[in-house]
Structure 1
Amino acid sequence: MKNHLLIATACLLGLLATTGASLPYPILPPLFAAGAADNLNHFLGLPPKLLFSVALLINPLGLLIGNAVLGPLSDRFGRRKVVLVTAAGAAVGHVLTAGALAMQSYPLFLAARFGTGLLEGQAPVVRALLAERLEGDLRNRAMSWFNGALHLGWLVGPLLAGVTIGFGLSVPFYVAAGALLLGATFCAVALNKEKPHGAAGSWWSVARERHAFNLLRHDQLRLLFIMQLAYTCGVTGFYEFYPLWLVEVGHFDTRGISLVNVGLCGVMTLSAAFAGGPSKLDPLRRASFHAILVAILIASVALGNLWVGMAGIVLFGLPHAFYNATIQGWAADRFGGHGQGAVMGLLSTTFCFANIVMALGGAVLTLFDTRLILLAGAGLSAWAAYRMRAWRWQEAHVPASNAAES
């Protein structure tokens, strides 16, 4: 396959995946925090904020499992097959989500969002495609462009919600389902068929025995997981709860949240277009610098007024895009021998696990003050920046024989 076609296909997949994942973010806060009481936002008489936090948690739970197993599955059965099956399945998940909203069925909504998340965890599969078929600066730039497509999906999803929700609460999800089916058709044409490789085994046995968490048996990959988990807890806490902050502080509706998100994702997408370029600075040093900037901007949302917080939300996209490009390229170079699908799966799974952690934390903290979960996330990202500096210092001062991975 020509490199430009591979990169274009990867970016399309990234765009469609995060468009579907981000679609509910501007829809749910007004529905649960400011909507009229109904069977959806008062299920079993539970507090709407608690139901909102669980609704945020369930999709990342599916993504967590999907990201952990889809990369290794594609290592065994081929990237193309995994991509096509999951894209079609995620489209069905969006249709079920639309039906759940129309029927005001909270259990069906949770089940549909879980299944959609499970099948939208394609990022490690696509990153593995790029990592194994491209090399050097082109690979780093391609991964950065793929990240840009993922970020663009976080813009397109909420924007799609804002534009189409006037036609009905379910309409955005039907549109997302149709887009996924069109994307799957394009990928079927663009991606070459592959022969299964590796050890024999069923889908279930490969998913059970070769999931990304198996990498945690290695000391340095375990350290990467802990460091990345702390950073992404800050990021996911920000993603999940800044819309609720906008509702509470600025009384924003779905369209207002979508407009702020346009600014954030526009900055993030533009930054990602340049973030994969070569640099003479050590990757961990660069990642640490970007992580501390992210922590400062998240804290500015929690501690500032509406205008300071909105500026922090939009500017967040700049250091976060550069952080992602840096850490993913470094991990591909350093740990690729463990299988690019598994390594990229570990990074994506960490992000999903952080979503769950912060959704659970937010379910408690937002009952007191939404700013508390944002401050907790800022602190965790700042700790991750410190830990990256310590890792870099250790590698610079410990003999290579002692620093080698166990």
Structure 2
Amino acid sequence: MKHGLLIGSACLLALLSTVGASVAYPLLPPLFAGDAPNGLNAFLGLPPKLLFGVALMVNPVGLLIGSAILGPASDVIGRRRLLLLTTFGAAAGHLLTAYALLIQSYPLLVGARFATGLMEGNTAILRALLAERLQGQLRNHALSWLNGAFNLGWLAGPLLSGLSAHYSVTLPFYVAAGGLLLGALLSSLALALAPEARTAAAHAESWASTMRKRHAFTLLRHSPLRMLFLIHFSYACGVTAFYSFFPMWLVEVGRYDAAGIAFVNMAMCGLMAFTALFAGRASSLDPRQRVAGQAGAVALAIICVGLGNLWVGMAAIVLFGLPHAFYNATIQSWSVDQFAHHGQGSVMGLLSTTFCLANVVMALGGALLALVDTRLVLVAGGLFAATGAFAMRRWSRQPAPIESHAA
């Protein structure tokens, strides 16, 4: 199978998956922050910001579970079958979300967002697919291009919401579900040409055994991977606080609607996707030093949103995409090079799971802080990212971690 076909198929699924995940972000804040009561923001008489936080939180809870088990499970069971099954499942989740919005059922919306997140945990499979079948600089570039596809999805999804929200709040989810189904069919043809990389244990281990023995958190018994987890978790708390609450900040500070949020997000993700095209280039500098600098720049951007006025905040939102794209490319390339003997699915699953765990923590904690002031969430997020940057800088002064394959 030609490498270009493999990379193109993975990037197509990444793009379509992220489009579906991101269409909700411009749509939900106006529904919950609006003055007019509805079936969503008036559920059980609870504060709308708390309801909004829970609606944000359940999707990454699903992602957390999915990322923890799907990446490692694909090491044993096979990537292609698991990838296609979860893609069809995510499409069904989008259709259920659309129905929940149509009838304004908050419990159904929460359930649909959770189920969709569970299926979207398959992003670790895509990263592992490229990490195991490509080598050297091509692998680094491919992982960076895959990040670019994810970032492009964060551009296209909110743009789709902004353009179609005036017609129907459910239309973006129908389009996202249709795109995922089409993408799954096209990618299945391409992936069918690739030999399935499965270990001998695939024939001996059951699903239950696989999930129990090989979930991503089993890697935390290794000291270097624990350090990676703690640093990446701190950074991810900052990023997820930013992602989840800058749309609410735009509603409160600039009175933006779904279309306005979508266009600001489009500028940020456009810069991020463009940067990802060359973010995977080789460098003589220690990757951990580069990660520290990139995380520090991200922290500064997030804090500027929290402390700045509308125009300073919007500029920081857009510029956030530049160092974040470099961070993603650097941390993933270094991780697959350094810890490949643990299984690419497990390593990619740990990174994805860490991000999802941070999303859960900041969605709930951020919702409580937002009851006081949304800007507090963003400032706290910036401090989390800065903590991760300082910790990585200290770690970079130590020798690179060395583990035996039997570790």
After TM superposition, the score normalised by the length of structure 1 is 0.97
Mapped pair 1:141 → 2:145: no
1:205 is displaced (CA, Å) by: 2.4
CA distance in 2, matches of 1:91, 1:404: 39
Conserved? CA contact 2:49–2:371, under 8 Å: yes
Structure 1 residue aligned with 2:259:
255
Mapped pair 1:345 → 2:349: yes
Structure 2 residue aligned with 1:114:
114
CA distance in 2, matches of 1:242, 1:133: 37
Conserved? CA contact 2:306–2:376, under 8 Å: yes
Report the CA distance shift for 1:39/1:138 in structure 2 as closer, same or farther (over 3 A): same
CA distance in 1, matches of 2:350, 2:45: 38
Conserved? CA contact 2:10–2:187, under 8 Å: no
- In the alignment, which of 228, 240, 244 is matched to residue 232 of structure 2? 228
CA distance in 2, matches of 1:244, 1:149: 25
CA distance in 1, matches of 2:293, 2:186: 39
Structure 1 residue aligned with 2:373:
369
Structure 2 residue aligned with 1:197:
199
CA distance in 1, matches of 2:78, 2:54: 34
Q: Percent of aligned pairs with the same residue?
A: 61
After TM superposition, the score normalised by the length of structure 2 is 0.96
Conserved? CA contact 1:220–1:405, under 8 Å: no
Mapping of residues 190-339 of structure 1, within 5 Å: 190-192=190-192, 194=196, 196-199=198-201, 200-339=204-343
SS in 2 for 1:298: helix
1:342-400 Cα shifts (integer Å, max 9, x gaps)? 0000000111011001011111100001011111111111111111111111227xxx8
Mapped pair 1:23 → 2:27: no
CA distance in 2, matches of 1:245, 1:401: 44
SS in 2 for 1:201: coil
1:198 is displaced (CA, Å) by: 3.5
1:208 is displaced (CA, Å) by: 2.3
Structure 1 residue aligned with 2:361:
357
Conserved? CA contact 1:14–1:146, under 8 Å: yes
Q: Which amino acid aligns with 2:85?
A: V
Mapping of residues 162-201 of structure 1, within 5 Å: 162-192=162-192, 194=196, 196-199=198-201, 200-201=204-205
Conserved? CA contact 1:17–1:122, under 8 Å: no
1:151 is displaced (CA, Å) by: 0.5
Conserved? CA contact 2:342–2:405, under 8 Å: no
Conserved? CA contact 2:276–2:329, under 8 Å: yes
CA-atom RMSD, angstroms?
Answer: 1.6
Report the CA distance shift for 1:117/1:277 in structure 2 as closer, same or farther (over 3 A): same
Structure 2 residue aligned with 1:75:
75
Structure 1 residue aligned with 2:95:
95
Conserved? CA contact 1:69–1:212, under 8 Å: yes
In terms of mean alpha carbon deviation, does 199-208 or 218-227 score higher? Answer: 199-208
1:274-317 Cα shifts (integer Å, max 9, x gaps)? 10011111100001000000000000001111000000000000
CA distance in 2, matches of 1:52, 1:301: 20
CA distance in 2, matches of 1:115, 1:262: 26
SS in 2 for 1:387: helix
Q: Which amino acid aligns with 2:371?
A: L
SS in 2 for 1:102: helix
1:121 is displaced (CA, Å) by: 1.2
Report the CA distance shift for 1:286/1:37 in structure 2 as closer, same or farther (over 3 A): same
CA distance in 2, matches of 1:29, 1:198: 48
CA distance in 2, matches of 1:284, 1:122: 27
1:272 is displaced (CA, Å) by: 0.4
Report the CA distance shift for 1:90/1:402 in structure 2 as closer, same or farther (over 3 A): closer
CA distance in 1, matches of 2:189, 2:171: 28
Structure 2 residue aligned with 1:161:
161
Structure 2 residue aligned with 1:85:
85
SS in 1 for 2:339: helix
CA distance in 1, matches of 2:21, 2:354: 16
1:188 is displaced (CA, Å) by: 1.2
The gaps in structure 2 that reach 5 residues or longer are none
1:72 is displaced (CA, Å) by: 1.1
SS in 2 for 1:279: coil
Q: Which amino acid aligns with 1:279?
A: S
Report the CA distance shift for 1:5/1:402 in structure 2 as closer, same or farther (over 3 A): closer
1:401 is displaced (CA, Å) by: 7.9
Q: Which amino acid aligns with 1:232?
A: A
Conserved? CA contact 1:97–1:112, under 8 Å: yes
SS in 2 for 1:278: coil
**Matched residues, number:** 403
CA distance in 2, matches of 1:333, 1:390: 21
CA distance in 1, matches of 2:234, 2:198: 36
1:201 is displaced (CA, Å) by: 2.2
1:128 is displaced (CA, Å) by: 0.8
CA distance in 1, matches of 2:145, 2:41: 38
Conserved? CA contact 1:395–1:403, under 8 Å: no
